[in-house]
Structure 1
Amino acid sequence: MNGKVAKGNSMEERFSRQQQALLQVSRLWCELGSGADPVDAMRIVTQTAVESLMVGRASVWTLHETDPQLLACRCHSASGSPLKSMPETLAATAFPAYTDALDRNETVIWEAEPALQGPLGQLMVVPISCLSQRIGVLCLEGFETHRQYFPDELSTAHHLANILAAMLAAQQRRKEAEEVEEQLRDEVTLWNNLLDQSWDGIVILEVDGGVFLANQRYADILGYSKEELQGLHVWDWDVNYDREQLLAMLADVDEMGAHFETRQRRKDGAMIDIELSNNGCQYKGRKLILCICRDITERKRTEKHIHRLATMDSLTGLANRREFTRVASLEVQRSKRHGNPLSLIMYDLDHFKRINDSFGHSVGDDILRAVSEIARVTVRKTDLVGRWGGEEFMVLLPQTPLEDAALLAERFQKALDDHDFPSVGHVTASFGVTGLRPEDALDSLVLRVDKALYRAKKNGRNRVEPLE
């Protein structure tokens, strides 16, 4: 430091000023712990510096975050000070006293510093730094030259600079914390918006089945609000599995996850089909299960409709020829593999062409539908009835020997005899019945049952003709 000549005042006055300065410093240190306002602190510091150290002006300058500039934050001038007003910024490189104090991290006193034009005699620059972080400087401008500062005055200046350092560092930490908090809020808002804009339902589950988070789409799928879902568990809506099964599934989910379909219950009680993909992840030391859900109820309905169109006869609702052939081929193979009996019935409505010619095709269609309904209620659930073509039909009877199949055909024949058909009255049918032989394939089985039907017609119609 380059202090020279003492200031001309009495010791009692100097100590009185120092005592007042210490009181102000003590108050500021106390306020610092409760989050004092930095602007108010700078006002008190600069005012205290001017009054206790008898300088013309005290000012606080902080380093710009990116540019090599010093920014004026606060100043206080003595009453009647002839010093000119300060600029708002100073180029750091143009004022070596400031940068020298910061670089050396110690107080620097310069005589007649030309930084600010006017009747300036001496300039004291006290660095403001915290934990090696350069923050700025406290500048004390005096009218006198060659003034010597006493140790207690230098100590006061350092205390004031330290208060500013703590205040400004705390302000910077608060600012950084607020920026981080704002960034986190923005990221949370972004992710929530992305989740809510997803076409798929997304729900994150705890391992205990509770809802950690759900997006708006999933809430809409189930008919709940997002807030309502927070209080529910997965077994409150999944109907394919019970509570223990679901807990076991959640415990088993890993990073690879799984993909499956399930049924879920909406808030209004309606059942929906859900396609679900899940995988496990770790969050703050606990396991969460991410589930991406898609409502496939309409798709399943469409698939069932398409399957129905592809496999069912549109007039009678029975299996069409293609579907009947597919199932019959599988049953023949299964029966031969396990050595089980299997029988086939083929029946044909007698004189059906006359009905169409006499009463019209609409009445003929009604009769075909009615006969098909009688067949459905006559056979067992394990049997399959199919429309083979025109007025010809087939009945596949797994696990049924020829004798039992013939008895069922006779019951069916009697049911037709007993039924009164509107507009027509009495309708009969001829039945051929055969059983599976070890050497049979489906083609040979069909050929033989067709031969049995031909015999039934040849022998007078309205009868059952078995053929081994």
Structure 2
Amino acid sequence: MNALDRMAPSPGGTEPWGTGLLPAGWLADGWGWAALLAGVALGAVLWALRERGRAAGSRDDAGGVLSLADRIPGALVGVDAGGRIRSFNPAAERLFGYRAQQVVGEPLARLLPDFAEAGDNPLRDVLSAPGPDEAHAEPAREVTGRHADGHPLPLGLTVGRAPGADGQAILLLHDRSLQRAMEDALHRESRFANVVINSLPGIFYLVDQVGCFRRWNRNLEQVSGYSEEELEELHPLELFRGEDRDHVARAIRETFETGSSSMEADLVLKSGARRPYFFTSFRVELDGERYLAGMGLDISHRRHLEEELTRLATTDLLTGVANRMQFEQDLAREVGKAERYGRPLALIMLDVDHFKRINDSHGHESGDLVLQEVVAVAGTRLREVDVLARWGGEEFMVLAPETDGHGAFELAERIRQAIEEHAYPIPEGTVTGSFGVAAYRPGEGEDGLLRRTDQALYQAKEQGRNQVARAEREEVP
């Protein structure tokens, strides 16, 4: 089947003319549809000429060409084998700004200077194609013409050969100025959008409903460590782990259902490192399809500040252990668990013996060093679940979950011995401590436990200091 047969309608009359002139996938180009219509028009001309030739049994179709050319809305230019213009229809006059008598007989280079000099000149291919009695057409292309006033014309061109046209080629041209302007505007908008997207302080991404990244900025590649090719194959949820992945999945569904969502999650980088991000996303519609457009901001600095503020609010600045406010919260939590589940709980109160004398004799700086070392020594005897806190001044608390009175007494004794045996940066070299111990009794609450522990500490001091006293035998007030 030759090119002309491909342009002819099917017996049922349902196939469009001209589709055989275009390479596969070419309609996806910016001007494919306009050129397709040009191909269809040229196909119609060539098909009509072929049918007229068959009906008349004659090879003299020059008059037919001119008659049809005048009625075609597109610019038609007939060119001979020598590259000279032989026909010029009214549409061509309007396109190029010449009257037919001004250009007929002139070289085609007057209208298409660049095209006429091109190495892949389709005129030669069309006119040298086998079967001079058959129509032939070359695929559409884009060329630059010259108007009568000298300005360039962006044109779409389809070249064909009519059957029996004595070596004449037919050029069908259409003006692409408006389309080129629109394409240039789209390119400018695209470049501007790329500049904006890549100038964002965070990561940007566009995700379809299937879960594929369709667009992103350079920041996403730089931050995540994934290349463009890797991101094309990556599902967004693969950038998260554990509970964060579930939260992100819900946020994606929420965005497509309600139009927007926001959340915080740790972005898992290609290296395996995690980085905290604040994500916000919106549902957008492009070409009738729904997408998720999102942006993520690195909140590592904010997270660090929050953690530092939390540390300052809950930690004793001198010793680094929990402060009184934090300890009271921990005590309330553990008392609640002891009441609810009937689990053992004990409290130890420590007072550094004669600490005022240390301060008065060696100064507050030495006193601070003593407190820091007492805390360090005590910490070596504690379990991970135990909570050590500064209660105030030289007094400290140890909260011991899952520990009864006997176990708490033994723990306090180990701490007492360690403190006594340690060497301190003061002339005396030794420091001791007094301890009060109480096990929680159901129903007494935090205040009751604190009161009995304080009474036990007072008892240890009254009995000579540097010892552990228990409050287990006392009645609940």
Superposition TM-score tier, normalisation by shorter sequence:
0.5 to 0.7
**How far, CA to CA, are the matches of 1:421 and 1:353 in structure 2?**
16
Partner of 2:188: 186
Partner of 1:381: 384
| Change beyond 3 A, Cα 1:374–1:205 | farther
Q: Is the 8 A contact 2:438 2:456 kept in 1?
A: yes
| Change beyond 3 A, Cα 1:304–1:247 | closer
User: Is 1:76 aligned with 2:101?
Assistant: yes
**How far, CA to CA, are the matches of 1:269 and 1:277 in structure 2?**
23
Q: Aligned residue pairs: how many?
A: 345
| Length-normalised TM-score, structure 1 | 0.61
2:275 to 258, 269, 272: 272
1:396 CA displacement: 1.0
1:430 to 418, 431, 434: 434
| Change beyond 3 A, Cα 1:266–1:26 | farther
Q: Is the 8 A contact 1:433 1:466 kept in 2?
A: yes
User: Map of 1:47-446 to 2, 5 A cutoff?
Assistant: 48=87, 62=94, 72-74=97-99, 76=101, 167=172, 170-172=173-175, 174-205=176-207, 211-222=213-224, 229-230=231-232, 234=236, 237-240=239-242, 254-256=256-258, 258-266=261-269, 271-278=274-281, 289-423=292-426, 424-446=428-450
Per-residue CA deviation, residues 386-413 of structure 1 (Å, 9 max, x unaligned), is 1001110011112221221111111111
| Change beyond 3 A, Cα 1:318–1:47 | same
| Change beyond 3 A, Cα 1:77–1:450 | closer
2:466 to 442, 462, 468: 462
Per-residue CA deviation, residues 214-261 of structure 1 (Å, 9 max, x unaligned), is 113434444667677556555775455799998899789733465333
1:291 CA displacement: 3.4
**How far, CA to CA, are the matches of 1:40 and 1:446 in structure 2?**
108
| Length-normalised TM-score, structure 2 | 0.60
| Change beyond 3 A, Cα 1:337–1:223 | same
| Change beyond 3 A, Cα 1:367–1:245 | same
- What SS is found at the alignment partner of 2:469? strand
**How far, CA to CA, are the matches of 2:355 and 2:449 in structure 1?**
25
**How far, CA to CA, are the matches of 2:288 and 2:464 in structure 1?**
84
| Change beyond 3 A, Cα 1:351–1:171 | same
Query: Residue type matched to 2:218 in 1?
Result: Q
- What SS is found at the alignment partner of 2:322? coil
Query: Residue type matched to 1:259 in 2?
Result: S
**How far, CA to CA, are the matches of 1:249 and 1:231 in structure 2?**
21
| Change beyond 3 A, Cα 1:245–1:186 | same
| Change beyond 3 A, Cα 1:378–1:38 | farther
- What SS is found at the alignment partner of 1:187? helix
Larger displacement relative to structure 2 (430-439 or 226-235): 226-235
- What SS is found at the alignment partner of 1:315? coil
| Change beyond 3 A, Cα 1:251–1:303 | closer
Larger displacement relative to structure 2 (440-449 or 385-394): 440-449
**How far, CA to CA, are the matches of 2:88 and 2:271 in structure 1?**
74
**How far, CA to CA, are the matches of 1:402 and 1:78 in structure 2?**
114
Q: Is the 8 A contact 1:59 1:72 kept in 2?
A: no
Per-residue CA deviation, residues 317-369 of structure 1 (Å, 9 max, x unaligned), is 00011111122122212221222221111010011112222222222111111
Q: Is the 8 A contact 1:255 1:281 kept in 2?
A: no
**How far, CA to CA, are the matches of 1:205 and 1:77 in structure 2?**
57
| Change beyond 3 A, Cα 1:49–1:202 | closer
Q: Is the 8 A contact 2:76 2:92 kept in 1?
A: no
- What SS is found at the alignment partner of 1:378? coil
1:287 CA displacement: 7.1
1:416 CA displacement: 1.2
Partner of 1:138: none
User: Map of 1:26-65 to 2, 5 A cutoff?
Assistant: 48=87, 62=94
1:263 CA displacement: 2.3
**How far, CA to CA, are the matches of 1:189 and 1:78 in structure 2?**
41
- What SS is found at the alignment partner of 1:330? helix
5+ residue gaps, structure 1, are: 1-17, 51-57, 64-70, 80-162
Q: Is the 8 A contact 2:248 2:265 kept in 1?
A: no
Q: What is the aligned-residue RMSD (CA, Å)?
A: 4.4
Q: Is the 8 A contact 1:278 1:290 kept in 2?
A: yes
**How far, CA to CA, are the matches of 2:177 and 2:345 in structure 1?**
84
**How far, CA to CA, are the matches of 1:465 and 1:227 in structure 2?**
70
| Change beyond 3 A, Cα 1:187–1:37 | farther
5+ residue gaps, structure 2, are: 1-58, 105-168, 473-477
**How far, CA to CA, are the matches of 2:376 and 2:208 in structure 1?**
51
| Change beyond 3 A, Cα 1:316–1:38 | farther
**How far, CA to CA, are the matches of 2:268 and 2:422 in structure 1?**
44
**How far, CA to CA, are the matches of 1:366 and 1:382 in structure 2?**
26
Partner of 2:39: none
| Change beyond 3 A, Cα 1:23–1:337 | same
| Change beyond 3 A, Cα 1:409–1:171 | same
**How far, CA to CA, are the matches of 2:193 and 2:321 in structure 1?**
52
